[in-house]
């Protein structure tokens, strides 16, 4: 499952940062996920709750900040918020290039 791989990566980053900070445990892991990242949030949270066992994040909550998708028109430069890849320019009907919304990153940790 795609989400399980993502969660493994998130936990790896979180544990590494927590160890660097000399933390005994992680309380909250905050991640930013773009709407175009192809991540199913319920599935991601489910995987996190399974995979966190036995790590510094065993009791941690996964806090998710969703980022909107952004598209930019190469023809006329217009920008628009988009929910899917093949979006058309609202100004000239050109094909928008995706310029945001594919993010997936750990932004902060709350540790003890």
Binding residues for Zn ion, per CB under 5 A? Answer: 73, 75-76, 78, 89, 91-92, 94
Q: Output the smallest distance, CB 102 to Zn ion, in A.
A: 21
When the beta carbons of 45 and 78 are compared against Zn ion, the nearer one is: 78
When the beta carbons of 32 and 100 are compared against Zn ion, the nearer one is: 100
Residues 6 or more apart whose CB falls under 8 angstroms from that of 25 comprise: 18, 56, 57, 58, 59, 60, 111, 112
Q: Output the smallest distance, CB 63 to Zn ion, in A.
A: 36
When the beta carbons of 76 and 107 are compared against Zn ion, the nearer one is: 76
Integer distance in angstroms from the first to the last C-alpha of the chain?
31
Q: Output the smallest distance, CB 78 to Zn ion, in A.
A: 5
With residue 12 as reference, give the H or E element that holds it: helix 2-20
Structure tokens at 22: 């000399």
When the beta carbons of 28 and 94 are compared against Zn ion, the nearer one is: 94
Q: Output the smallest distance, CB 92 to Zn ion, in A.
A: 3
Query: Counting Cβ atoms within 10 Å, is residue 42 exposed (0-12), middle (13-18) or buried (19+)?
Result: exposed
């Amino acid at each position: 499952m795609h989400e399980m791989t993502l969660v493994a990566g998130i936990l790896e980053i979180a544990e590494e940062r927590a160890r660097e900070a000399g933390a005994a445990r992680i309380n909250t892991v905050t991640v930013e996920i773009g709407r175009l990242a192809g991540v199913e949030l319920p599935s991601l949270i489910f995987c996190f709750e399974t995979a966190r066992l036995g790590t510094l994040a065993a009791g941690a909550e996964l806090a998710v900040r969703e980022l909107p998708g952004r598209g930019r028109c190469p023809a006329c430069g217009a920008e628009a918020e988009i929910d899917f890849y093949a979006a058309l320019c609202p100004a000239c009907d050109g094909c928008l290039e995706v310029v945001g919304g594919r993010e997936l990153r750990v932004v902060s940790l709350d540790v003890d």
